[in-house]
A and B are shown apart, each in its own frame.
Chain A
């Protein structure tokens, strides 16, 4: 396929699968369920149409490890739709996109500049490759208790202090919808001979909606990991890795193939293909509606009193360079409830599942699939929770950014000799594992970081409030692994 032939109304993988279905090919290959006939219970549960296209790579359907026909075409169409030089269909979640992105440009001992409020997948990839993190202090909004974006000055300082770093990684946006000045950061990185990588797990819609924060590719970033399955509407675990002019497509493909399955799921790939087509054709309209819903919900929630549903008024030109208008983040501390408590009440008493609650905030994820009537339920439930549970917020901990002290690289901490000690006795020790609330999955402690009294207090408070803690070997985090 020539680039000039790209037609966004096409969906080559989907079309090939439809054709494959009509051919009624007799399967003497894997998967062994043979279009579902070998697993009637699964077929009854998922449906014949679904299991019928859960098939293996074959000539008419191409091969994800080395695409030359329909997958290649789908990737070219995705690259075109997202304004990238190349796009890779990913089937291991955006975790795999992030890891491939980091592994493509960092080797053992290389430095990478990044904000501390990255997703665990970023630090995991440092464990894999042995690169050393240089954290940029994100600014903190003290009222809301959330980490913001990276300010230009802080990035500049980090670049000047670490001229040997190979890349700068940017959240575009953060889980809460906050964007750094990615255009300026790209320029600073490029001027210093570094690559700029973007974690766009929450930024798919930046490529299609109107009046959105700038997308990484448009800002000139070199690579971007894009969670199509979040705002893009594709199936869970499907993702895209986008690449710009400065990065070799072949090198990235080799890196992806180090860890990617050789049995790429056609359910996931076709969902990426169909979703990309939908976004290219109807994305503007879809995200206009999502923004309208979010704006409406913000107004209504703020009218209840006590809650603060924040939006573009937060923009300050630097650490909050832009705000994702589709995000519905609500600060709950002023009604006397931790975000995680509101999150639990919504689920347990109102049958409403939101994305996450942290110490001071909740996040309701709005998308392509929402309707006004459900939004009215959410707003009304929040009004009810305030009426029934409102109390004095005194005594509620405000979430503060805890500046990490990186003692050694995540990789050497992860693989060093270690011992398990009671959390309360671990002050001053170097942690060898992750500790985080999930979601949002941003580490409180990462391997190689010094444990402080502040951090222990924070972990104990989050546990007491009902946050689901993950990452550590001891699921209850009474004990923690530290370096010997």
Chain B
């Protein structure tokens, strides 16, 4: 069978995966949800036709969005995770015994249902007793919170669909307000390569810089995302991602990882010149 799934990474660039089986297709109030099997990347979750994760490279995203803040903040107990209905971030978080509570806010119940059935490898920790799942709009959920979390992880879709609200000044403001005085917010920050993505990345970086005293960007190589190159935002009220990074403490936890290392932690904050320039443009 010669069936191909294609996704536009830019108006004139497509990324295609050969599909062997379409495992699931559903339409929720918010989006079109598809899960299919591919020879190269294994099972793939797509929302509104955009690849969210693949079995083959999800570890890169989930490790980088989780272990970077967890190795900087000395005592993360209460975590809020936004989006991430596939359960990948939660799976990484539950590996830390210090974490007492994980509130997961996902607007679309159907994403979680589909992932539980078809991507159990990712969703396996959603039933951990520390995990509380709320089906809600995150803006509404968070604006009722104040001084409540040590870490907020924003694992959203790109800023051009139902997740648009998670890239706004008001969203970053209510996250700031919901964090304790030494809290950290980490978000997926898109890609800097194609023009459309780069502009959105700059806009959201600017809004975070205006909201948090410390705001840095770090990078990872993720093959199935646009340009294979992805950024994360590290926004913090107190801790600096490198100066306050406690390598020994993290190593003493003996967590095995496939992508994250303590050396890479530091390296991921060293950015290419063109990207540094783009960030500086909006920081001033």
Contact = CB atoms under 8 A, between A and B. Distances in A.
B170 A381 contact: yes
Interface string B225-239: 000000000000000
A349 B211 CA distance: 11
Contacts of B177: 384, 387
A384 B170 contact: yes
A349 B169 contact: yes
Contacts of A351: 168-169
A294 to B, nearest CB: 16
Contacts of A372: 137
6 contacts: A351-B168, A380-B165, A384-B169, A384-B177, A387-B177, A388-B173
B164 A350 contact: no
A4 interface: no
A373 B162 contact: yes
Contacts of B171: 377, 380
A62 interface: no
Nearest to A378: B170
Interface in A290-347: 300, 304
B116 interface: no
A373 B137 contact: yes
Contact of B169 (A304, A373, A376, A381): A381
Interface of B: 137, 139-140, 142-143, 162, 164-165, 168-171, 173-174, 177
Contact of A380 (B139, B162, B164): B139
Interface string A103-137: 00000000000000000000000000000000000
Given A304-B143, A374-B165, A384-B173, 8 more contacts: A349-B169, A351-B168, A372-B137, A379-B143, A380-B170, A380-B173, A381-B168, A384-B169
A214 interface: no
B140 A376 contact: yes
Interface centre among B139, B140, B162, B170 (most CB of A within 10 A): B170
B139 A377 contact: yes
A387 B168 contact: no
Nearest to B142: A380
Contacts of A380: 139-140, 142-143, 165, 170-171, 173-174
Contacts of B170: 350, 377, 380-381, 383-384
A379 B144 CA distance: 11
Contacts of A374: 165
A351 B177 CA distance: 20
A336 B236 CA distance: 29
B176 to A, nearest CB: 9
A351 B162 CA distance: 17
Nearest to A377: B165
Contacts of A387: 173, 177
B179 to A, nearest CB: 13
Contacts of A377: 139, 165, 168, 170-171
B137 A350 contact: no
Nearest to B137: A376
Contacts of A350: 168-170
Contact of B139 (A304, A349, A379, A388): A379
Interface string A353-383: 0000000000000000000111011011101
Contacts of B164: 373
Contacts of A383: 143, 170, 174
A29 B17 CA distance: 53
A300 B174 CA distance: 15
A247 B170 CA distance: 52
Contacts of A379: 139-140, 143
A405 to B, nearest CB: 45
Contact of B165 (A300, A304, A376, A388): A376
Nearest to A381: B170
Interface in A366-419: 372-374, 376-377, 379-381, 383-384, 387-388
A372 B137 CA distance: 9
B185 to A, nearest CB: 15
| Closest 3 pairs (CB-CB, A-B) | A384-B173, A381-B170, A376-B139
A426 B169 CA distance: 45
A385 B50 CA distance: 34
Contacts of B165: 373-374, 376-377, 380
A300 B140 contact: yes
Nearest to A373: B165
A374 B162 CA distance: 10
Nearest to B161: A373
Nearest to B174: A380
Interface centre among B142, B164, B165 (most CB of A within 10 A): B165
Contacts of A388: 173
Contacts of B139: 373, 376-377, 379-380
Contacts of B162: 373
A388 B137 CA distance: 22
A484 B162 CA distance: 61
A101 B139 CA distance: 46
A102 B244 CA distance: 72
Contacts of A373: 137, 139, 162, 164-165
A387 B175 CA distance: 12
A187 to B, nearest CB: 46
Contacts of A384: 169-170, 173-174, 177
A384 B177 CA distance: 9
Contacts of A381: 168-170
Nearest to A374: B165
